[in-house]
Every structure is written in structure tokens, then in C-alpha cells.
Amino acid sequence: MAGILQVALATLLLLPEATAMHSDCIFKKEQAVCLEKIQRANHLLGFNDSSPGCPGMWDNITCWKPARVGEIVLVTCPDLFRIFNPDQDAGVVSRNCTEDGWSEPFPHYFDACGFDDYEPETEDQDYYYLSVKALYTVGYSTSLVTLTTAMVILCRFRKLHCTRNFIHMNLFVSFMLRAISVFIKDWILYAEQDSNHCFISTVACKAVMVFFHYCVVSNYFWLFIEGLYLFTLLVETFFPERRYFYWYTIIGWGTPTVCVTVWATLRFYLDDTGCWDMNDSTALWWVIKGPVVGSIMINFVLFIGIIVILVQKLQSPDMGGNESSIYLRLARSTLLLIPLFGIHYTVFAFSPENVSKRERLVFELGLGSFQGFVVAVLYCFLNGEVQAEIKRKWRSWKVNRYFTMDFKQRHPSLASSGVNGGTQLSILSKSSSQLRMSGLPADNPAT
């Protein structure tokens, strides 16, 4: 089961293993081929269950054809071992067919195939992969709920509608789509703890993977848009925000559409195998990986440029405070920009896939799943404009509620007639003004 979870976690990483298919899928395909070879061999040799000798078998690593008593069968090392050790010469493993059945393999697979670092999957690995899956499930669920609430707030209050918040809202949507795509992919591919996903090749399954990649790439590009917008805001004094926002939208949603469409088309014609959740072709995978890595690197350069600009602005004579407060504000600004720009992705952007795999899973899947939650809290719930608007609406609601309750106590007949609070207040204001207007002519003759 650990192998299946490892496939799921590796697929979730935007930069998965592109060198080869996962070991479980290799073994499953080798097993299917082996069973076909055994059936053909039994038919040619006339073997059946009652025939003397050793029947053909699959020992979960390689295939052994049927043999007669006293026959020695030689097989080469499985392809999986050559993946991990490409420079190693193909070894040979033998079994002897005895009257008691097959003997043990000689030499041992690990000795003959030169793969000494193999560790069998244990309960510790099962627990580890289950823990990572539970961690990112909680993270994406928390982010989805928080981002949905933030979107409702930003859409509800008109005074919060500006270019900056529109960009934030698009980023929130990309995080929400990413979380939803993860849940859909897990539900479609890994609902059952077995390796059936190796043979899934339906249109719906491939569509899910295309949607998943589109959501992930869009998320990275809207992180890039956030960095580009803030850098442009600091560099240029005057610039048409609405026109820029039009191009930001094209880049944020249009570029991923082009990249994923090209990848899906090439995958369909050149590598239409499985559910497209594994990437045997490195060249094809760079159609998606290249733009993402490029956006991460450009965002990192923008991040450094913004920090330099902030240092210059904080050290200007117009800025008050001593040196310690300057660096404190700089540190605060830097920490706020890290989750917004996705700078933490640069840690493993160019590292090999087989280096620090466990740390990579925890860092990019476990902690990365909470990025949407952090961004929503920092740039919505802790935003001064948002808090001020919510407080204003709260005070307005309390005032309206107070006058409504007071009106019901003073005019119970109107309150019982089904007139609402807003109508009652308007009736009061109109009646009071009419009384004042009608009283003016009566006072004039008296003077």
C-alpha cells in the first residue's frame, strides 16, 4: 500500500519523477506480460496442473517459464533495477527445478543485480505516506474553506473592489481550483488502495489529469502575477491599472491553457499510455515544467528587486524611526511576501527528483497545502481595509437594529402590521418632516 500512496504523492508534486514509471506499475505490467508468456509456454509444451516439473510463475519480481525436473532456468535482472543503476551490467539469476518445486534464486536478486539500497516497504513507510496524505488533505480543506470565506468578503463589499484586490481574488480562485483538483484526482485515481490506476486509460481519467495540471500551473502563474503587479507598482509612478489587469488576466489564465493544451495534444499523439499520471517522456513533461520553473525563477528575481526597493525606501530620510524599527518593518514585509510570491518553491525547483524525497513531500505537499490558508489570512482577514469595512458594516447594522427595536416599542401598531424596520424608519422621517412643514403656516398669522 505504501507504493500506491507514494504514486499519489509523487503525482501531486508539480515536478514528479520524469525518468520512468513507478515501480508498482512496472511490476504490474511485467506481471501481465509474464502470465501471457506462461500461458503460451504451457500450450506449446503441453503442460497442465498434473504435469511433472515446475509450473511457470511470477515471484513478484520477475517471470519464470515452466521447466522440467533437473532443468536450470536463467533470467536477467528486472528492468526496475537497471533504472536505479543504469551503469550496472545486466546480471543473471537462476533457479533449479527440483522434484520438490523451484529452488531459491541464486544468486540473490540484490547481489546479482547490484542494487543494495533497496528497502522493502514496511509499516513505517505506510504510516509515513498516510501521514503526508492526511496532512495535505487537512491543508487543502482548510485552505478551501478559508479562501471561500475570503472570496465572499471581497465580492460582498463594493469599496474593496480595486485592481489589487481583483488580483488577490484571482489568486484565491486558483488556490481553490488547485485544492478541488487534488480532491478529484485522489477520488478518481486512488480511491482504492491497489495498483489498478496503472491500467486506467479512460477519457474521464485523462481529463481529470489535464484539469489537475491546468489548476496547478494557473496557481503558479497567478503567484507570478502578484509579484509582477507589486514590482510594477513600486517601479512605475503612474500606470493604467485596468489595462494592465486585462493583460494580467490573459497571462494568469491564458498561458496555462496554452501550455496544458500543447502538453495534452503531444501526450495524446506521442505517449498515450495509462492515465497520463506518469511521465515517461522528459521532453514532453518540460512543456509544463519549463513555464512553471521559469515563473518561479522570475518571481524570485522580482522578490529580490522588491526587497531592494523596500530597503531604499525604508532608509530614506522621510521615513521615521530608528534603524531597528526599519529592519523590523523590512523583515515583516519580507515574511508577508514569501507566501504571496511562492518563494518557498525555489528550494526544490532544480533539485533532482530522487534527492530528499521525503523532505520534498512534506515541504511541498504538506506545508504547501496550507499556502492558500496563509495567503487568505494575511491579505484578507488581517487586511486593514477589509477590517475597517467589516467594522463599518457591523456598526451600521447595530444602529439600524437599535432604531428598529426602538420604533417597535414606541409604535407597536405599526410594528404588528408587518412593516419592516427600513420602512418604519422611512415612515418616521417622512411623517416628522410633514409635521414640520404643516406647522409653518399656522405660526405665521400669530406673528
Cell of 321: 524611526
Which pLDDT value is given to residue 146?
A: 95
Residue 76, φ and ψ in degrees, nearest 5: -85, 165
Cell of 433: 418632516
Which pLDDT value is given to residue 437?
A: 46
How far from the centroid of its chain's Cα atoms is residue 304's Cα?
A: 25
DSSP conformation class of 370: G
**Amino acid in position 26:** I
DSSP symbols for 119-145: ----HHHHHHHHHHHHHHHHHHHHHHH
Which pLDDT value is given to residue 179?
A: 94
Which pLDDT value is given to residue 325?
A: 61
Profile the chain (447 residues) by mean pLDDT over runs of 10 residues.
45 40 64 83 73 81 83 80 58 85 81 56 65 88 94 88 89 94 85 56 85 93 88 76 85 94 91 76 83 87 83 68 56 64 64 61 78 88 85 81 65 53 48 46 39
Which pLDDT value is given to residue 3?
A: 45
Which pLDDT value is given to residue 256?
A: 95
Neighbours of 103 (CB within 10 A): 13
Cα-based angle 16, 22, 28 (whole degrees, multiple of 5): 155
Coil, strand or helix at 406 = helix
Coil, strand or helix at 68 = coil
Kindly report the pTM of this predicted structure: 0.68
